[in-house]
Amino acid sequence: MTHEGADTATVSEVGEARLLEAFLPGATTDGPHVEVGPGDDCAVVTTPGGRVVMTTDTLTLDQDFRTVWPSGVRTSGTDLGHKCAAQNLADVAAMGAVPTAVVVSLTLPGDTPVAWVTEFAAGLSRAFENLGARECALVGGDLGRGEELSITATVLGRCEQSPVLRSGARTGGVLVHAGVLGCAAAGLDALQSPVPGSWDALPADERRELHTAQLRPQPPVTAGRELARAGATAMLDVSDGLLKDAGRIARASGVRIDVDPGALEPDVTRLRRAGEAAGVDPWQWVLTGGEDHGLLAVLPVDSRLPPGVRAIGSCAPADPAGGRHRDGPTPDPRPGTDAPSPAVTIAGQAPAEWLGRDVVEGWDHFEP
């Protein structure tokens, strides 16, 4: 599949979804051992002993993290080891699988202290233990020299049952969430705020908690297996924002997801004082902020919620002309408007209508 201007456009001009449209058709994505290819949180391959899920992610200096933030906070090797583990473990959990092994590639400038490498390894290993991935171990990787610090990890996991994909949501299903929403986004804003600044109005201990939410997120890794056992038909890791990631489930499944704002009030209340200090509506963080790495899933209406899991919405029929879409906008316009019908609504309304203002649904790596 191609799009107009594909030969001359740059990645920052097309965004992540259209970049995938350009990349995937030219790649070999099937084979005798591939059960699930690109499109979910993990790929799934078959082996003589069963199914294996796998995922990979990269952290790059000044794109995904900073060593020193405008707030003066420094990111340690331990922080990055934890974050590297957290974001990859969450992807495996989102398939309903159990993390088992990780390989890590470090690209290091020549002046990187050896102590930083030791801290990184310790942070990675502690995260396995602290996040409930006790079967997971570092089994290899690569060390190389480069101009900028970059970390790439690939995590494998075992499936105890069929993997939970994004495409299994059905009309009448219950949208559920495990973890927190908005805290990492608020922490990012706090880290990026110069000192002194507006964030000084927030008590120091609350600022530190938000910093930690961004630097060392706490995905509910064990909840992934519990949600799969409870009958989850669709699931993913909320890495790019609730609205954006819910839209991914909706489009992959051919449904519309309706979010219950009342179910999110505790998240908004938790961030109210931070929002007042920063001059930000906390709904912005809760609805569009990523990197908390909670789990968003759809359960049958009669399923029992596992501990730590809450219902936050429901699945409704998609507009008849909507069909199924990978990540792009649903093309059918709403009656009487030129706007596309939303894949995700809040209390039955398009997010911008419910909020009373335009809203960017979440993070895109390639948007300016």
> Can you say which residues are annotated as belonging to the binding site?
41, 55-57, 64, 91, 141-142, 166, 237, 239-240, 291, 363
Binding residue positions for ATP: 141-142, 166, 239
Residue 57 CA, distance from chain mean position:
11
Specify binding-site residues for Mg(2+).
Answer: 41, 55-57, 91, 142, 237, 240
How far are the Cα atoms of 84, 194, 238 from residue 188, in angstroms, in the given order? 16, 12, 16
Helix (H) or strand (E) holding 127: helix 114-130
- Please tell me the distance from the alpha carbon of residue 83 to that of residue 368, in angstroms, as a whole number: 24
Nearest to 129 by CA among 117, 141, 140, 137: 137
Prior bond to 342 cis, omega within 30?
no
Amino acid identity, residue 46?
T
Q: Is 212 helix (H, G, I), strand (E, B) or coil?
A: helix
Pairing of strands 255-259, 344-346: parallel
Tell me the longest C-alpha to C-alpha distance in the chain: 62
Question: How many angstroms from the chain centroid is the CA of residue 7?
Answer: 30
Q: Encoding tokens for residue 19? A: 């970049």
Contact between residue 95 and residue 44 where contact means Cβ atoms under 8 Å apart? yes
Residues 221, 131: Cα–Cα separation, whole Å: 6
Contact by Cβ (8 Å): 236, 362: no
* Binding-site residue ranges for substrate: 64, 291, 363
Q: Which residue has the tokens 């009030």?
A: 265
Phi/psi at 363 (nearest 5 deg)? -80, 140
Walk across the sheet containing 255-259 and list its strands: 234-238, 294-299, 174-178, 309-317, 255-259, 344-346
Please, what's the b/e burial string for 76-88 (b: 16 or more CB within 10 A of its CB; e: otherwise)? bbbbbbbbbbbbb
Look up residue 304 and give its DSSP letter. Answer: P
